[in-house]
Structure 1
Amino acid sequence: MQLSAENISFRYTETSPWILKDVSLKVDTGERVGIVGPSGYGKSTLAKILAGYQRAEVGQVLIDQKPVQTNGFCPVQLIYQHPELAVNPRWKMEKTLRECWDPDEEVLRCFGIEKDWLKRWPRELSGGELQRFCIVRLLSPKTKFLICDEITTMLDVISQAQIWNRLLMLSEERSYGMVIVTHNMELAKRVCTRIIDLREINRR
């Protein structure tokens, strides 16, 4: 299976400068493609477009040459940088976790999610604990591609290592295609099978 962006262009208004211009890329299942580049160059915007959260002004996102579905469960899932903004503060974590599917105990154990955390409110968990929930709730059997937008930038070093080790292990088992947006070149070299500098494919 292949996720492709074809000639993607985006700007906020008709008179504002282009954030993305004629950007094309392809990601196969099993690949981990790093997207690197300076701040303000459109990395997060591209991540949102790939996952269907933002619509491109020009171009299209395809899975196996077919438009990504906008109804029902999308096989392309986005993991945000700020997990506290991706959860409902009025839901306990068990409801949040099962919003998309019902993860089994093996997956919960893999990400170090303890049973008593399920009864807690988001404010009662650390950023690293919250991010584990945000990742696991997207790992449905229907998920084929993960778009990871600076997913551990705000976490401590130990939490970063734990999350990446577990996510990479599971992604290899399930052959996820991954787009890893980061400003950290050392991280990209460590976890990615291929790296794209957005400055080289963004013709803005």
Structure 2
Amino acid sequence: MPEIRALGLEGVLEIVPRRFADERGFFSETYNAGDLAAAGIRLDFVQDNHSLSISPGTVRGLHFQKPPFAQDKLVRVVRGAVFDVAVDIRAGSPTFGQWVGVELSAARWNQLLVPRGFAHGFMTIEPETEVTYKVTAPYSRDHDCAIRFDDPAIGIDWPAGFTPLLSPKDRAAPLLAGLDTGFRYGAAA
């Protein structure tokens, strides 16, 4: 069984799969539906994504998809390291606009489970960082949304010492205030 830790926002979890090492290297089950179901996590992943970020300070996010293409995400780093963030975007939630962050790295072998109703983003903190993540809904251009990574109302404490490198989409992303995310606390996504 992997080690599973709650991170302070409903449903956002850090998951650390077991790793079995010897003189040849290691083996790990990075995803096991049965083990997660035994821990109460039942998700049907339909797509795997993989990104490479060349420079430290690369920011991807804060991204989400509106219902009916809302996505749960299981994020992990296969090379390098990121500061990974989830933000509650469910209108009416007692933690609306709050965030949690954790360093994910190939060395730490940890993962972040980001449930639907949360925006997700990361900043790379090592060069040549590769991130993979599983999602529970396919990509939908019409439902794809972003929120400014530096929204002052959210106040994410991004790692210092990096010049943020963003895509044009992320540079133009709106603030959370007044944005209809499509998520309501307590409603099914």
Per the TM superposition, whether the score is higher than 0.5 is no
- Structure number, greater radius of gyration: 1
Q: Which of structures 1 and 2 has the larger relative contact order (alpha carbons within 8 angstroms, sep 6+)?
A: 1
- Which structure shows the higher strand fraction? 2
TM tier relative to shorter chain: under 0.3
